[in-house]
Structure 1
Amino acid sequence: MTLFELALKNIRRNMKSYGLYIGSTIFSIIIYFTFAMLKHSDDISGLAETSKQMQAVMSASAFVLMIFVAIFILYSNSFFMKKRKKEVALYSLLGVRKRSIGFLLFFENIVIGLVALVVGVGLGFLLSQALLSLLLKLMGLSLSVGFAFSMQAVIETVIVFFLIFLVTSLLGYRVIYKFKLIDLFHAEKQGEAQPKARVVSAIIGVIALAAAYWLALQDLMTSSVWRIFGLAMPLVIIGLTVLGSYLLFSSVLVYVLNLLKKRKSWAWKGLNLMTSSQLLYRIRGNAKTLTIIATLSATTITAGGAIFGTYYNTEKSVEENIPFSFMWEGEEQDIDTEIVEDAVSFEAKDIVVPGETYDQSYYVIDEETFMKLTEALGWDVGNVDLEQDEAVMIDPYFDERWKDKVDTVEIDDDEKTVDQFYEKPLFNAPTLPGTVLVVDDASFQELDGENAIYQAVQTANYKDHLELSKELEAKTERFSSAVQSYQDSIEASGAMLFVGSFLGLVFLVATGSIIFFKMMTEAEEDKDKYAVLYKIGVSKKEMKKTIRYQVGLIFLAPLMLGLTHGTVALMAFSNLLQMNLWEPVIIWMAAYTMIYILYYVITVRGFNKTITQTVTQEG
């Protein structure tokens, strides 16, 4: 029998053991190939300007995904190889040369990679068709999706994963040269030395997290700390967060578990003592894993929450910045009166007021125009009756962090007091950007400035009039419309939501898989201990209970810390954009938590199954 035939036989015989590794590999191929298919899709390429944006987003995301799946497969392979070390040692004991064993492992990994590649590409092709339809729907595009296959995506995926499989195969080949025979036999039994609770480390961890949170919540525009660190600030925040998380897990968890062990009322209840001892024994390795998971969770929650929040608020943002359905410079146009709710034709003058540091440009309108426009927008401004020395100012971009409110304005040597100040837009920004001044009718007529006629139209259900918007845009100048702005925004934010959600799902599956691999490895290591406990009278119900607690701590600790990290980061993001993101963020966090809980249930069932099978066989 050749080494290649032996490799195939090993795979068929140990399919259950290989299943986790093959499954994670196929999943990685599916997600990467799906992204590659979307990146090279003709449907995406046919979207003109949107195509350029999508191509850039897809290319950047594919690169991130490539790095991530490589790390994920290497991580999965390390657990897989740990279970194989005893088998490798047995081959060595039987006299098989190390070189032959190395080639055996190399062939096995290559075969697994090729099978996973074929299955992954096939499933990825089917998934890409459904995801392309979802992407176009999120972007608000009603296009028919063709059933297309990209050979370029296949070639790209094959090259990327061939290199990954080559690396993992070479790592498997090195296993037999890296360890002594006795080490290979006891690979599954090797653990970490039980660490001691260090108060200093716990305090440093808390201080590091507090500092990271404080820095994240500083105002980007006015904070002196941001001016000191500059572009390095995000790296400082991430570094402090990771350090604080690791010290928190490695010190605080040790302290809590040691404290629980000392409480006799808790320690001697059921299998609590064994549970805490097992966690303490492996706490150093678990601390690293938990830190990785908490960081990945925080990244997923932050990025996904921010993107989903932006998509969720697209309509609101458009309506705030472009209050009128249509606005343009020039004469009135023929529009179906049945869809028109309000139409205002008005005159505006563009003036420049010299200042000490810089000149300020204003669009000036009279009282009558102001009343018509505010009535069309539903503003409650009361009865405006301006004197010659009074004015109303509308500055939609006012930010008290950058400037103070203007109290007086001097126009043509005539000083006017700002009687009322509004911080919401009166005009569509693309047509009439900047600050607006309202003066009395007499002052407006006497004012020198560049004069122009504008039209503002408000329609019912503005999102239904995209064709009308295109017709008006072709006939007018300085045209702007809410429906076109909404379409552009929903395409951009929809594409980002799709990519963000997809990557978020990948990160979520990766974090869940890391814990799953970790706990299933520990289940294999602990099954003999549970068999002994069963023989001395411990019930299966009691063993399942302690398994739920043990797995629950490993899941709950990084989830809670990740949610906390994500909440602080999203608060900072919300403050920066001056947006209320709480509602979409809570929805996003709830969805993330539900999937995480699902992983917990699957892991507990897998752990219980491993222990129950061993107990049944030996009991």
Structure 2
Amino acid sequence: MTLFDLAIKNIRRNVKSYGLYIGSMIFSIIIYFTFVTLKYSEDITALAAVSKQVSSIMSASAFVLIIFVAVFILYSNSFFMKKRKLEVALYSLLGVRKRSIGFMLFFENIVIGVIALIIGVGLGFLLSQLLLMVLLKLMGLEVMSSLAFSPSAVVNTVIVFMILFLFTSLQGYRVIYRFKLIDLFHAEKKGEEFPKARLISALLGVASLAGAYWLALQDLMTSEVWRLLSVAMPLVIIGLTVLGTYLIFNSVLVYILSKLKNQKNWAWKGLNLWTTSQLLHRIRGNARTLTVIATLSATTITAGGAVFGLYYNADKEIETYTPITFMWEGEPQKITQDIVVYEEEIKSKTVRIAEGGMEIDYQVMDYSTFKQLATRQGWEDLPTINQEEAFILDTYYDERWSTKVDEVKLNKQTLNVIAYEDRSVVNTFTMGGKLLVVTDALFEQIDSPQVTYQAVQVEDYKKQQALSDDLAASTEQFSSATQQYKDSIEASGSMLFVGSFLGLVFLVATGSIIFFKMMTEAEEDKGKYQVLYKIGVSQKEMKRTIRHQVGMIFTAPLLLGLMHGAIALVAFSNLLMMNLLIPVVIWMLAYTMIYFIYYFLTIRSFQKTIFSMLGER
């Protein structure tokens, strides 16, 4: 029997044992092949040809996905090899040369990789059709064609993963020469050093996170700290967040568990003392893993929440900058009256007003026209003015950095500016972002060329693309809410798809990492649970302690990830002056629900591993 035959026989006899590792590889191949297939799709290629945003988003995301998949497979392989060390030790004890064992492991890994590639590519192709439909739907487009099988995507996927499989195979080969025989026999019995509670480290962890949160919530435009640190500020925030997260797990959590362990009334109740000791015993090994998971969760929540927020608020952004469906300079155009809600002819004059040491062009509108447009658009509590007053509509006004004009000199007359509105009744892209409203009489007296604009509001503006294209071809200074919405939804829709796709990948990966970790610990804990069983501890109590142990490992990084993400999204919403509360809450709830599915699956598998050894269900 050759080494290759032995490798095939091992795989057949141990499919159940290898299932976790094979499953992680198939998952990695499915997500990568699915994404690459979408990238090479004719529909996406056509979109990328006309949209640099779509092209750059897909390319950058593919690169991120390669790095992530590589890390995930290497992480999975490390757990797989740890379970194989005892088997390797037995081969060595029977006199098999290390070189032969290494080649056998090499062949096994390559065969498993090829099998995973075949299954992953097949399932990935089926999934990619569904995801293409989702992507086009998010971008407000109709499904243009069925997805064709992409040879380029297959070649790309095979090259990437064969390189990864070759590397992991060599990594397994290296294990043979790195450890002594006695180390291989006791690989699964090595415990972590029992940690000590250090109050200083715990306080440092809390202080690091508090400092990171405080810096993140500082206003980018007005903060002295931002001016001092400049481009280094994000690195400082990330560094403090990662340090604080690690110390929370390695010190703060240890400190809290140690205090609980010393509370006799709590510790001597049921298996609380044993549960706490179990968590403390492995806390340092778990601290690194939990830090990675919390960081991945925070990244996923922040990126996904921000993109979903932009997509969710697309309509509101259109209403702010393009409140009228169609607007252009010049004469009226022929439009089917069945869809017209209202039409308005707007007279405007341009004046130059001193603002912040410079003279800025303002469009001037008479109060009657403003009132009519504002009333049609549902404005309430309209300001009123007299001959000596005016007010300004400035869609780009921000009190943090914008210069506020208190008075305006017009026709040798000084007008008091009684109000500022950071919105407008006209389209910013046609008439500009700065509008001065004066009385009708004063408007007529302004000695400046008068320009006429046409404003047309239609029903269901999102579905008037053909009309928008016709008007754009026949008018000047044209702006269209329909076109703005189309551009916005295509850009934010593609980002939402990619963000959700990568977010789901990261979510599954974080859940898988914890799953691998807990199942490894379940194998190590078999003997301990057997002792508990022999001394009469009930199955109910053992299940309870399993829920508590697994629950802390799952809940701790999730809560920190949610906190990190919430702070980052608050800072993001403050920067854009956009209300992201509803989309962020929806995104966090979705993330938490999927995350806890992994929690219940892990508990079930952990209990199955333990109680199968005890002969109970």
**TM-score over 0.5 for the alignment?**
yes
- Secondary structure of 1:419's counterpart equals strand
Distance 1:341 1:196, change over 3 A: same
Determine the structure 2 residue equivalent to 1:146: 146
Equivalences for residues 246-261 of structure 1 within 5 A: 246-261=246-261
Q: Distance in 1 between matches of 2:439 and 2:517?
A: 74
Distance 1:239 1:403, change over 3 A: same
Q: What letter is aligned with 2:98?
A: K
Determine the structure 2 residue equivalent to 1:429: 428
Q: What letter is aligned with 1:403?
A: S
Q: Distance in 2 between matches of 1:410 and 1:385?
A: 16
**TM-score under structure 1 length normalisation:** 0.97
Determine the structure 1 residue equivalent to 2:322: 322
Q: What letter is aligned with 1:477?
A: E
Determine the structure 1 residue equivalent to 2:452: 453
Determine the structure 2 residue equivalent to 1:346: 346
Return 355-364 or 166-175, whichever deviates more: 355-364
Q: What letter is aligned with 2:40?
A: H
Equivalences for residues 174-253 of structure 1 within 5 A: 174-253=174-253
Q: Distance in 1 between matches of 2:304 and 2:311?
A: 11
Shift in Å at residue 450 of structure 1? 4.0
Q: What letter is aligned with 1:343?
A: E
Determine the structure 2 residue equivalent to 1:390: 389
Q: Distance in 2 between matches of 1:178 and 1:48?
A: 49
Q: Contact (CA 8 Å) 1:391, 1:440: kept in 2 or not?
A: yes
Q: Contact (CA 8 Å) 1:222, 1:401: kept in 2 or not?
A: yes
Determine the structure 2 residue equivalent to 1:478: 477
Q: Give per-residue Cα distances to partners, 1:29-80, cap 9 Å, x unaligned.
A: 1111111111111011223655432221111001001000100000000000
Q: Distance in 2 between matches of 1:364 and 1:423?
A: 16
- Secondary structure of 2:431's counterpart equals coil
Q: Distance in 2 between matches of 1:312 and 1:366?
A: 35
Q: Distance in 1 between matches of 2:297 and 2:433?
A: 41
Return 296-305 or 357-366, whichever deviates more: 357-366
Q: Distance in 2 between matches of 1:401 and 1:504?
A: 33
Residue 505 (structure 1) aligned with residue 504 (structure 2): yes
Q: Distance in 2 between matches of 1:356 and 1:585?
A: 37
Q: Distance in 2 between matches of 1:395 and 1:334?
A: 31
Shift in Å at residue 356 of structure 1? 6.7
- Secondary structure of 2:615's counterpart equals helix
Residue 403 (structure 1) aligned with residue 402 (structure 2): yes
Shift in Å at residue 301 of structure 1? 0.7
Shift in Å at residue 371 of structure 1? 2.3
Q: Contact (CA 8 Å) 1:50, 1:491: kept in 2 or not?
A: no
Distance 1:11 1:413, change over 3 A: same
Q: Contact (CA 8 Å) 1:367, 1:386: kept in 2 or not?
A: no
Q: Contact (CA 8 Å) 1:528, 1:614: kept in 2 or not?
A: no
- Secondary structure of 1:365's counterpart equals strand
Q: Distance in 1 between matches of 2:136 and 2:171?
A: 42
Q: What letter is aligned with 1:324?
A: I
Shift in Å at residue 434 of structure 1? 2.3
Return 312-321 or 436-445, whichever deviates more: 436-445
Shift in Å at residue 168 of structure 1? 0.5
Equivalences for residues 356-371 of structure 1 within 5 A: 357-371=357-371
- Secondary structure of 1:47's counterpart equals helix
Count of paired positions: 617
Determine the structure 2 residue equivalent to 1:28: 28
Q: Distance in 1 between matches of 2:396 and 2:445?
A: 28
Q: Distance in 1 between matches of 2:209 and 2:383?
A: 53
Q: Give per-residue Cα distances to partners, 1:489-542, cap 9 Å, x unaligned.
A: 111111000000000001100110010000000000011221222122122221
Q: Give per-residue Cα distances to partners, 1:173-224, cap 9 Å, x unaligned.
A: 0001101100000000011110100000001101100000000000011111
Q: Give per-residue Cα distances to partners, 1:517-570, cap 9 Å, x unaligned.
A: 000000000112212221221222211111011100101111111111111111
Q: Contact (CA 8 Å) 2:385, 2:438: kept in 1 or not?
A: no
Residue 442 (structure 1) aligned with residue 441 (structure 2): yes
Q: What letter is aligned with 2:67?
A: I
Q: Distance in 1 between matches of 2:409 and 2:558?
A: 58
- Secondary structure of 1:417's counterpart equals strand
Shift in Å at residue 420 of structure 1? 3.4
Q: Distance in 1 between matches of 2:448 and 2:57?
A: 45
Shift in Å at residue 583 of structure 1? 0.7
Return 368-377 or 116-125, whichever deviates more: 368-377
Q: Distance in 1 between matches of 2:283 and 2:477?
A: 65
Equivalences for residues 447-596 of structure 1 within 5 A: 447-596=446-595
Q: Contact (CA 8 Å) 1:205, 1:246: kept in 2 or not?
A: yes
Q: Give per-residue Cα distances to partners, 1:70-99, cap 9 Å, x unaligned.
A: 000000000000000000000000000000
- Secondary structure of 1:359's counterpart equals strand
Shift in Å at residue 333 of structure 1? 1.2
Q: Contact (CA 8 Å) 1:44, 1:51: kept in 2 or not?
A: no
Q: Contact (CA 8 Å) 2:355, 2:405: kept in 1 or not?
A: no
Shift in Å at residue 144 of structure 1? 2.5
Gaps of 5+ in 2: none
Q: Contact (CA 8 Å) 2:346, 2:454: kept in 1 or not?
A: yes
Q: Distance in 1 between matches of 2:383 and 2:4?
A: 90
Shift in Å at residue 382 of structure 1? 4.8
Gaps of 5+ in 1: none
Shift in Å at residue 425 of structure 1? 1.3
Shift in Å at residue 298 of structure 1? 0.7
Distance 1:258 1:362, change over 3 A: same
Shift in Å at residue 265 of structure 1? 2.4
Q: What letter is aligned with 1:393?
A: I
Q: Give per-residue Cα distances to partners, 1:125-164, cap 9 Å, x unaligned.
A: 1111110011000000013332311111111111111111
Q: What letter is aligned with 1:487?
A: K
Shift in Å at residue 440 of structure 1? 2.7
Distance 1:251 1:382, change over 3 A: closer
Q: Distance in 2 between matches of 1:571 and 1:441?
A: 43
Residue 274 (structure 1) aligned with residue 249 (structure 2): no
Q: Contact (CA 8 Å) 1:132, 1:145: kept in 2 or not?
A: no
Q: Distance in 2 between matches of 1:179 and 1:164?
A: 23
RMSD: 1.6
Q: What letter is aligned with 1:344?
A: E
Return 73-82 or 423-432, whichever deviates more: 423-432
Q: What letter is aligned with 1:599?
A: Y
Q: Distance in 1 between matches of 2:552 and 2:474?
A: 65
Q: What letter is aligned with 1:35?
A: F
Seq. identity, % = 65
Determine the structure 2 residue equivalent to 1:86: 86
Q: Distance in 2 between matches of 1:616 and 1:468?
A: 73
Q: Contact (CA 8 Å) 1:45, 1:51: kept in 2 or not?
A: no
Shift in Å at residue 355 of structure 1? 5.6
- Secondary structure of 1:324's counterpart equals coil
- Secondary structure of 1:431's counterpart equals helix
Distance 1:51 1:408, change over 3 A: closer
Q: Contact (CA 8 Å) 2:395, 2:428: kept in 1 or not?
A: no
Determine the structure 1 residue equivalent to 2:331: 331
Q: Distance in 2 between matches of 1:351 and 1:334?
A: 31
Distance 1:356 1:298, change over 3 A: closer
Distance 1:266 1:150, change over 3 A: same
Q: Distance in 2 between matches of 1:427 and 1:405?
A: 21
Q: Contact (CA 8 Å) 1:29, 1:157: kept in 2 or not?
A: yes
